[in-house]
Structure 1
Amino acid sequence: MSGNPDQTFAEVVRGRKSIRGYLDKPVPKALIEEVIGLAMRSPTSMNTQPWHFHVITGEPLDRIRKGNTDRILAGEPDSREFRRGEPFAGVHRERQIEVAVQLFGAMGIERDDKEKRQDWVLRGFRQFDAPVCVIVTFDRELSGSDDTAFDCGAATTALVNAAWSRGLGCVINSQGIMQSPVVREHAGIPDEQVIMKAVAMGWPDPEFPANSVYTNRKDPEDAVRFVGFEDD
């Protein structure tokens, strides 16, 4: 899991995986700046560059973790700002269940072990106890544009790939921003920005079982159509 800036693009993309367990080791600010600088080279619709990255660590992040978790446990409704759509169904739900089975299997969490399952859920609300959290936001005046979400997603994908190339692990998540008022308060996010996603970031813990999981991906034959090409 060590960083190697000489990796090819293919090696980074094929090697990267979501990291949910981190070493108790700070991440240098200069390294995060480098990674985000690479991510901001992502393509963007008509050069709008709608993204903002709020990088949080230390006490402010601890306050977000506590406030997010306390409000969830107290039964506060989810207050995510970015639309989440309808619950997954069909094959999409099957894939969601598949990765949960992989993770619970790696962690030794049995189906009827409510205590361990609850602990796993709370890890998500705590940003997986990562030393750094990057909150991705976009300008509220662009809220009606689907291109904006597309552009921010592209930049976030580039962010986790750039981080991996430098030895850092990440997991993109929504659990850590479920209680948006808490996030907005302690991260100092201005009202004219919409909170979209969170990225937990840090040095991967090689001993954390869930970090061994690589999610299965659909075969390109099931996702790609070629039109107008001559047969080989």
Structure 2
Amino acid sequence: MNVTEAVRTRRSIRHFLDKPVELEVLRTAMETAQYSPSGGNLQPWHAVVLTGEPLDELKSVVAAKLPQGPDGQSPEYEIYPKGLQEPYRTRRFALGEAMYDSLEIPRENKMGRMMQMTRNFQAFDAPVCLFVHTPKNMGPPQWSDMGMWLQSLMLLLVEAGLDSCPQEAWSVYGKEIRETLKLPEDHIFFCGMAIGYRDPDAPVNRFPVPRAPIDEALQFRGFAEL
């Protein structure tokens, strides 16, 4: 396993096997992820890692709120910008359609799509889920640091034969998560991340997720033309 292979094979897994994850494997990956860069070496990431009864308890708390829908909830932050412009809107729409197509849930099946969405809050049956938080006074640079830590951790999990799915969806129920996990009052909840072993036969784990060519995102200046 090298870095290139880990980056290319990592994907957000939405169906996990019923197979426990050893604590020592997790600790090894997380200890190495502590070498992730952060501005001023602040290391602003904090997380609670749950499995077994504690994870079941949290899922039950959130499940009790699901029938109310998103109305009345106080999300920790806006996951996507309002009025999402192109090409980002099309990329997001295409991903959703590819996922539902893999599950054979057509657009007119609103209930089916809603039920699939609620699987986020079961961590897609992963045996482990971590919940990331940080002090409320941390700004966008420190949130970027948390992203670098999460990416490092996800790649290290791939190296260890594990899979993951970062889940900002949990932020809709940030209040319940902060209360249940007893997070510090001056902290904001960021995201969850499901961890476990992917089901290689599940169609939802195999649909293509295209990436934009680098010329759409990057400009090279000052280099000699090839």
TM-score over 0.5 for the alignment?
yes
**2:179 corresponds to:** 185
Q: CA deviation at 1:85?
A: 5.1
CA contact 2:16–2:126 (8 Å) conserved in 1 = yes
Corresponding residue to 2:104 among 88, 108, 120: 108
Q: Which amino acid aligns with 1:127?
A: A
Tell me the distance in 1 between the aligned counterparts of 2:161 and 2:207.
Answer: 17
Corresponding residue to 2:153 among 146, 159, 162: 159
Structure 1 vs Structure 2 CA RMSD? 1.6
CA contact 2:20–2:196 (8 Å) conserved in 1 = yes
Q: Tell me whether 1:126 sits opposite 2:117 in the alignment.
A: no
Percent identity, aligned pairs only?
29
Q: Which amino acid aligns with 1:137?
A: H
SS class of match (1:228): coil
Tell me the distance in 2 between the aligned counterparts of 1:219 and 1:77.
Answer: 40
Q: CA deviation at 1:181?
A: 2.3
C-alpha offsets along residues 58-117 of structure 1, whole Å, 9 cap, x if unaligned?
A: 122112212222213124533232443523332111111111111111111112122321
**2:87 corresponds to:** 91
Q: Which amino acid aligns with 2:101?
A: G
1:17-36 to structure 2, matched below 5 A, reads: 17-36=11-30
Q: CA deviation at 1:31?
A: 0.9
Q: Tell me whether 1:137 sits opposite 2:148 in the alignment.
A: no
Corresponding residue to 2:166 among 172, 179, 184: 172
Deviant stretches of 4+, over 3 Å: 82-85
Tell me the distance in 1 between the aligned counterparts of 2:80 and 2:8.
Answer: 29
**1:206 corresponds to:** 200
TM score, norm. by length of structure 2: 0.92
TM score, norm. by length of structure 1: 0.90
**1:55 corresponds to:** 49
Q: Which amino acid aligns with 1:114?
A: K
SS class of match (2:220): coil
Tell me the distance in 1 between the aligned counterparts of 2:207 and 2:183.
Answer: 33
CA contact 1:12–1:164 (8 Å) conserved in 2 = yes
Tell me the distance in 2 between the aligned counterparts of 1:227 and 1:157.
Answer: 28
Tell me the distance in 1 between the aligned counterparts of 2:154 and 2:19.
Answer: 18
Tell me the distance in 2 between the aligned counterparts of 1:57 and 1:183.
Answer: 15
CA contact 1:68–1:126 (8 Å) conserved in 2 = no
Runs of 5+ unmatched residues, structure 1:
1-6
Runs of 5+ unmatched residues, structure 2:
none
Tell me the distance in 1 between the aligned counterparts of 2:168 and 2:63.
Answer: 13
Corresponding residue to 1:79 among 54, 64, 74: 74
CA contact 2:79–2:168 (8 Å) conserved in 1 = no
Q: Which amino acid aligns with 1:86?
A: P
Q: Which amino acid aligns with 1:188?
A: K
CA contact 1:68–1:182 (8 Å) conserved in 2 = yes
